[in-house]
Structures are given as C-alpha cells and as structure tokens.
Structure 1
C-alpha cells in the first residue's frame, strides 16, 4: 500500500515527513562518512609487463587519490620480485592488501575495482647472435691475429634463441685454458644486463688460422746444424698453437734437427734442439753496449754455452773476466 500523507491526520503527516527526512539525513551522513574514509581508488590491470626486478603497486594498478603524497606512497608499495624472463606471476587482491597495509594504510581506506588479480610478465629482448659471436671472436682470435695469423671461426654452436631482460647488454667470454683452438672446444659466455649477470651460456667453438711460418727448403738429417738458408717462409694452415712454429730464419741459429725433417715440412719447436755453439777455450767476439757506446773486442770463452746462455769470458786485451750472454756462434754480448 503506497504511503499517502493526505490520508493521515495533520499531526501524523508531520511526524511521517520528519521520519523521511531523518532517514535521508542518516543515509547522507553514512555516505559522507564512507567518502571521508576513502583515501584512494585502485583499479588492477588484468595483465602487466614490467622491466624492473622489483614490483610495485603502481606498476600493476591505476591509482587515483586526492592527495598526491598518498598516491605516491601507494604507487611505491612493494609487491616483491618480478618474475624471471619467460615466467609469469599472478598478483591477487590479498597480495595487494598486504602491500597497502605495509605502506601504512588501512584496508578500508582503499577502494578496489577491476579484475580480482593481475598477471605479471617480465619484459624481454632477444640476445643478438652477432653480439655473441663478436665476443667469442674477440676472446679466441685476438692472440692469433696479434701474432700475424689470419684467423676465423669455422664453428660456433649457439642456442636457438636466448631471451634476456631489457637493458644494456654486455657479453663476456673467457678463453683461458684453451689448449687447441683448431679442434672443437668448450667456452662459457656470461651475459650481463645493466651490469648484472643474467645468463651463462655453454658454447662450442672451433678456429681456423693461417700464418707465415718457416718451411724446410731441403731434407735435413737428424743432428744437422741448421742454417738460415735451410728454410723458406710460406703461409700454412696452423694445426697447433702459433707459438709452436718458427716464424723467422734467425730462430734457426744454434739449432739442430732432433729428427729427420723432410723438404716442405714446417719447422716446429719439438723438432729442434739447441746445440752448444761455444765451448771452453773458443775464441769469441765480445760485444759491449750501453745507452750511448758500442764496442767490440776479442776474448776467450771459459765455459760452454748455447744461444741465450750466460757464460764467463775473458777479455783478451785487459784479462778481465766478464759475464756475457751467448747471442750467436762465436759471439757473446755484455751490457755496461
């Protein structure tokens, strides 16, 4: 039955109108009180992609507040760590409520809207294969190229794709301990983003290199003392470390063949041995040098020596005994 004030007595009609106004005031008061308690309105996003390591409430929700300071406090409220690249994390309202309380707000001061949770993914970028290859080349080819060799990678096994967090990329490759780069060998690449290591990759590489080396100009018998005319220089493919090869004809001085060396064969250190080029009593040329003066006198060796050895010699003019380094057959050198 509808309420009709005209059906009541004047007194009852006044009372009824007062009750209506009282009820309306109560409703308005409650509404006013509720609005006074609301500090901010928060609307969760259904899905969010982030690029930082740590999640904040402002990254996954739209926050509206009359007071900018309150809005900033809520926006910076921590939600823990972001998921790894390729993974996802679901942030529910319970997680958000904990963050709000940790930020110093009461639950009833924030009004929620939107979905019940937000799915968070990590922003990613693909590691450029050329960047990875360049880092490997820098690590494994630099020494060969510095020695005059022409070198290149003939094999580099890379993962099909590598996703990493967004940011400034740096790749570090350590080639220490690689004994034979001319057969497949393992490498470890460290991928850093903004100065922090995010991935370590296991790689397999192989190198091909060519360099000018000494080659036998004729067959050389075991024990033969070598001369510079016994070798020529040719560019050959390297099959062992470049330091194993002889590169200049002056390196043959004082050396002899440890085994038969056939014409066209490369000279390697393990095929030669140093011979004694000065014996006690041999007449030697003593070369002396300082920063400004160079002199040469004759003398006598008092000990045997190979090139590079330090021996005692006697100056034939003054009779003084000197310590000198053997530099060639019949030649020693002293430093003033």
Structure 2
C-alpha cells in the first residue's frame, strides 16, 4: 500500500512540474514593442513565441512614429497564425514604435565636419564650426539599412570655408540624396581672463577660461596653454573677453625703481650685506643699477629676490661696515 502511495505522489509531482514548465513557457504579450523592420511579428509581440516568432502580424508604423494596437486584436491574429495560447494578459492595447535614426542639424554637422576634416591632416572635426546656408529639416533614416547615412562627396575651400556636401540616406521611401551647402570655419581655442586683472598681479591657471575664435581672428602669439603664462604678472590692467597674448605678461617685478634694497656681497664663504637704492625696476634675474647708500657708489647687480640684489666682490668699506654686526650676530 505504501508503495502505491509513494508512486502516486511521484506522479503528482511530475504532473505539477509539467504544468509549471508549461506556464513558464506560455506566451506573454508585451505592453510595448520597438521594431526596426517594416513588419511586426509574433515574436515582437509575444515572448516564448517559439517557431512562430518570425510570422508577421502587422505592418510597422512609419519611421520614427508609433501607434497603439488593441490587445484582443493582437491575440486574435497571433492565434490565427498558430500561437494557440496567445492572450491579452490583462492588457487593453500594445504600443508599437518604429525605430529610426533622426538626421537633424546637429548630427549632420558632425558628419560634415568629419568628412571635411578628413581632407586636411592638420584639422580635427572638433576644430570646425559648421554653419549651413539653410538649416536642414530633420529626416528619419532607416537603422535597418546597412549604411543608412553616408557622405558621397565633400567639396571644401579652406580659403573661404565654403563647402558643398552630397549626403546619401536611406529613408522609408528608399535611398535619397541631398546636397548641403554652408561655411566651415576653422576654430582655435585660446585663453581669456575669467576675471579682471590689475597691473602687476600674478596670474595662475584659475584666472583663465577658454574661448573659441575663428583662426583668421586669432592674434599672433596668442596664449593657448595656461602653463605659458602662469606665474607671470600682468603688464597693465586687463579685462575679460579678449584673447590673451604672451606680450600681455612679464616676469613679476621684485624691485621697483627707487626701492630700498639689500645689497648682497659674496666672497668665498663670506656673505656681507649693506643697503642701497634701486635706480631701475627689475624681475628675478634682471641686472639693475643700485646706489650704495654708504659709499654713494653706483653698482650693478642681479635681482635674486624681493628687495635683494647680488653684486660682485665686496669693497673694503662694506666689509668694514658689516664687520661689527656680523660679530654681534655670531654672539
């Protein structure tokens, strides 16, 4: 008796597993369908469509368009096609969308820039600013085509920037050609100020921002890399909005004309100092004339820091003047 019970339980378990498997494999109607072909098939509408997946049920909407189909109509046609278990699965309708590639002005600009840049080794697509003679209207092209959009011919004069480009595209009506005309300007990224600068102010990378100008309008010696001028000083008061030139900057002046400075004399291991007055302004490394305030002699030295000038061999008078302070310092 116990053997019959166990056998019955085993058969029941097998039957339940079979029912569950059938339920898992049952076709399920999708609420939204996106297709790239001109027909919508059983497999587009239903998962688990099996061998009937490629059977067409409806024509697709136009490229880039969508529409709704009543779920009961979909189920009826699917059953007629042989999918006997097709149902509505609680849906009222199904949204069907026909995919497309939208060839608008932005995408066309990128295609044209790529084609024109390919004609010159020193030009990148991102360096070109494309302006169409007439703004092209968006066109839906077929993504299912092997080559939905391509540039058939590109004519470009770098002298004046004018171009004529023939574009071939595959639309719902089939292949189509269109000639696009306009001007492609070569652009250069240059630096301008992000904020005003005063004369003598030291600049850093944070003081700059980038602006793009046609190459023909870029002044000579324009700054394109912040590293070229970072750490230099503004020659004059400057405002944002114009391209910067290397001549706008100079090495920061560490000494101004008339400044009281320290003269540094180095003789071997001995270092002596005295006071002087600058007869000229100077940046680090500049040679300027200094009047020694003790001897009233004019000497020439190299600016080595703010308010400091290194001169040659120390005169005897300077050594005598600095001898006492040096001893006091040593104490």
| Rg larger in structure | 1
Per the normalisation by structure 2, the TM-score is: 0.33
Per the normalisation by structure 1, the TM-score is: 0.33
